[in-house]
A and B are shown apart, each in its own frame.
Chain A
């Protein structure tokens, strides 16, 4: 039994947790930005997928890794803009538009991949981000290999949390986003363009989602294949609720889920012979549901989430 507890005290477990958490962190923060402004973005799964493809392809075609991140950022922003045009300016159903964006983006991404690389059967590879040792800190016992020997992309993801926290709490834009998702009339009455604020939030949020997807192809793995997002976008949607729409809690939620995932892989190896491995695969999801039920009891939805704003109308 003691082995099951010992897993938690290995540096490898913590390093894996952070690795698994990174795409979730980026995607969840992206979704937080959208939903805080009042727009549900179910395009997340597809936007992550096309972000993964575009980031990877940019590097495969010769650009450097950071340009790959920027390319993912841009494609995410473009799909965010598309989502915003439909849901913000035209007031279309956020659910339907979001699912449409997911189907469009993931299929278009794979289609373009096949157009550029028609004949490859085994996915070609790139040289992804390599771990760097943070001077001094990486030499600490246990803490070093667990937290300070990651790829630069990983640290970027943590920076994104700090950026989002600062944006939401210390800038007029963050305040406007929070107001747009709560009572857009209040924003309008103060002379601020609700459409613009919502669009900025959706574009920015979608860009972060795409970067989350690119983490998979540029840092976690080295290749792109169809369906590689594998539901991470949907997990992020749930994590947003767990996080009560707060970036700092999104970090916590993503780490919790990733920790469970990293744990189950290791637990499988220990008990695979006795307990079917599917049970372990299920664990993170099961425990996430439990955590959500507990956390969601106290959450307060942004009041204007899913409500299109129309100028000159009574709310």
Chain B
């Protein structure tokens, strides 16, 4: 079979300030092929795609599509040539219907009519052809994440796209929805379309792509045929070094440290909880699975004292009733790794040492005789923390926002681990991190478990939950299922529960 080249990218370079986001990147995409672009966050994947789709103009380099040079910085031109992009954050207007979201952009805005009837016919045709079931007249606000993604794909198909760029398409999907997406992708390939898939989830890439390109620090570090790819080797290419994967060791359960009885949260400021029951024991890792937005964050905030349940009881081993505040929960030994580490975990504009001792300001040990923060002890402690938990920094006087995601997370987790917490509430602790950082964070959590800490691990990554947890519960629409032992469950049944099965 002769493969014709659809897209040719030659020596693309894009600088943001002094930073090379893309440095001399070249590759091509053939007709009817799935090309995966892998890389850590900040490796330059999204920048590269934004250049292809016309959001950014590169500093140098050429891109040609079917032999024609692409005009940079012009999305309209990219769309006309046949490039379609599904952004990681959907670009849909929720107040409009599916049909309206799809047809916009087809006519000039000065045209006097909207050919809705013809469009409906065509959308239904496309939806049938590619196995993307939708109701054209439904309001987008009423759709689930995977349905919204279908519309995004239909939007590009409606504009006759020949090359579809999918940016982290599985980030918010259940395993079943991911499978459905992949079968749609295969459908598209069969009809002669090409797909560029951007992701950092290795397993998925291996399952669906034909070829893989790995980016690291803005440069392309390798190109592999998926057939001959080896998982560990690619992971090393992504990170640039050998990864030390954590090994889980089970330890016997200790005494109960925390229990929630019929805890509900019914307010409008966050997803609600209804009658959540939960028991947690020392040395146990309880995994909580669920699609984002089903109440996991609310639960984490209740467990860390940020939210007060509207109903129900929280009992700690040492104290039957506590005042609800992050501080009093902290004093009882609760450590909280927030979902959004950069906005809720650290203060980016403050220096590393300041962030490192932020939770210790009550401790007279860090103050001098006048009650003022003692720099010497604080610096020592910070250096110690960074060394012990492998926070890679230039100096502890550096502003924290300059750290990479993995190092921010290690700093945060280390800050808590220094206190020997009894309970760790970890909310998406490895989300968005690269393979190397994921391994380090998981290792630190497992070490804490070995020392007897009880850990609640909230995650959307089922592989992580299955390797780390002793027991797994699933959250769905604010309800929490009874925990199942990890050894007696699997991805499929958790995935079904995430979609509402058994609730």
Is A186 a contact of B91 with CB atoms below 8 Å?
A: yes
**Does chain A have a CB within 8 A of B133?**
no
**Does chain B have a CB within 8 A of A297?**
no
B100 to chain A minimum Cβ distance, whole angstroms, is 6
**Does chain B have a CB within 8 A of A135?**
no
Docked pose: A178 CA to B140 CA in angstroms: 13
Chain B residue at minimal CB-CB distance from A188? B75
Is A170 a contact of B113 with CB atoms below 8 Å?
A: yes
Please, which residues of chain A bring their CB within 8 A of the CB of B90? 186
A175 to chain B minimum Cβ distance, whole angstroms, is 5
**Does chain B have a CB within 8 A of A269?**
no
CB proximity to A under 8 Å, residues B110-141 = 110-114
A150 to chain B minimum Cβ distance, whole angstroms, is 29
**Does chain A have a CB within 8 A of B358?**
no
Is A182 a contact of B94 with CB atoms below 8 Å?
A: yes
Q: Which of A116-124, A137-145, A190-198, A275-283 lies on the face that meets chain B?
A: A190-198
Is B93 a contact of A172 with CB atoms below 8 Å?
A: no
Docked pose: A189 CA to B90 CA in angstroms: 10
Is B96 a contact of A191 with CB atoms below 8 Å?
A: no
**Does chain B have a CB within 8 A of A298?**
no
Docked pose: A170 CA to B80 CA in angstroms: 24
Please, which residues of chain A bring their CB within 8 A of the CB of B87? 185, 189
**Does chain A have a CB within 8 A of B107?**
yes
Docked pose: A192 CA to B75 CA in angstroms: 9
**Does chain A have a CB within 8 A of B492?**
no
Given A176-B104, A176-B109, A191:B93 Cβ within 8 A: no
**Does chain A have a CB within 8 A of B92?**
yes
**Does chain B have a CB within 8 A of A253?**
no
Instruction: Produce 1/0 per residue, A271-303, CB < 8 A to B.
Output: 000000000000000000000000000001011
* Cross-interface CB contact of A303 among B76, B94, B108, B112, cutoff 8 Å: B94
* Cross-interface CB contact of A179 among B56, B75, B104, B110, cutoff 8 Å: B104
**Does chain B have a CB within 8 A of A62?**
no
| Residue picked from A179, A189, A191, A197, most chain B C-beta under 10 Å | A189
Docked pose: A234 CA to B177 CA in angstroms: 49
Is A173 a contact of B109 with CB atoms below 8 Å?
A: yes
Given A175-B114, A191-B79, A183:B93 Cβ within 8 A: yes
Is B96 a contact of A182 with CB atoms below 8 Å?
A: yes
* Cross-interface CB contact of B93 among A170, A186, A300, cutoff 8 Å: A186
* Cross-interface CB contact of A190 among B89, B112, B155, cutoff 8 Å: B155
Is A183 a contact of B76 with CB atoms below 8 Å?
A: no
Is A172 a contact of B75 with CB atoms below 8 Å?
A: no
Docked pose: A186 CA to B96 CA in angstroms: 11
Please, which residues of chain A bring their CB within 8 A of the CB of B105? 187, 190-192
A-side interface residues, number (CB < 8 Å): 27
Is A188 a contact of B91 with CB atoms below 8 Å?
A: yes
Is A185 a contact of B91 with CB atoms below 8 Å?
A: yes
Instruction: Produce 1/0 per residue, B390-434, CB < 8 A to A.
Output: 000000000000000000000000000000000000000000000
Instruction: Produce 1/0 per residue, B65-93, CB < 8 A to A.
Output: 00000000001100110000101011111
Is A172 a contact of B109 with CB atoms below 8 Å?
A: yes
**Does chain A have a CB within 8 A of B22?**
no
Docked pose: A300 CA to B109 CA in angstroms: 25
Instruction: Produce 1/0 per residue, A146-180, CB < 8 A to B.
Output: 00000000000000000000000011110110110
Given A175-B96, A186-B91, A303-B94, A170:B104 Cβ within 8 A: no
* Cross-interface CB contact of B91 among A178, A183, A302, cutoff 8 Å: A183
Docked pose: A186 CA to B156 CA in angstroms: 12
Chain B residue at minimal CB-CB distance from A179? B93
Docked pose: A200 CA to B109 CA in angstroms: 10
Please, which residues of chain B bring their CB within 8 A of the CB of A173? 109-110
Docked pose: A200 CA to B92 CA in angstroms: 21
| Residue picked from B80, B109, B155, most chain A C-beta under 10 Å | B109
Docked pose: A185 CA to B101 CA in angstroms: 12
Docked pose: A302 CA to B56 CA in angstroms: 28
A275 to chain B minimum Cβ distance, whole angstroms, is 41
B301 to chain A minimum Cβ distance, whole angstroms, is 24
Is B79 a contact of A171 with CB atoms below 8 Å?
A: no
Given A170-B114, A182-B94, A175:B100 Cβ within 8 A: yes
Is A182 a contact of B95 with CB atoms below 8 Å?
A: yes
Is B108 a contact of A315 with CB atoms below 8 Å?
A: no
**Does chain A have a CB within 8 A of B306?**
no
Docked pose: A191 CA to B159 CA in angstroms: 11
B98 to chain A minimum Cβ distance, whole angstroms, is 13
* Cross-interface CB contact of A314 among B75, B76, B89, B108, cutoff 8 Å: B89
Please, which residues of chain B bring their CB within 8 A of the CB of A183? 91-94
Please, which residues of chain A bring their CB within 8 A of the CB of B76? 191
Is A172 a contact of B104 with CB atoms below 8 Å?
A: yes
7 contacts across the A-B interface (CB closer than 8 A): A173-B110, A175-B100, A182-B94, A182-B95, A183-B92, A190-B104, A197-B109
**Interface, chain A (partner B; CB < 8 A):** 170-173, 175-176, 178-179, 182-183, 185-192, 196-197, 200, 300, 302-303, 312, 314-315
Beyond the given pairs A176-B109, A191-B75, A196-B109, 14 more chain A to chain B contacts, judged by CB atoms under 8 angstroms and listed by A's residue number, are A171-B113, A171-B114, A172-B104, A172-B106, A172-B111, A179-B104, A183-B94, A185-B87, A186-B101, A190-B79, A190-B104, A190-B105, A190-B155, A300-B95
Lowest 10 CB-CB distances: which A-B pairs, in order?
Answer: A190-B105, A191-B76, A182-B93, A186-B91, A189-B91, A179-B93, A172-B107, A173-B109, A185-B91, A183-B93
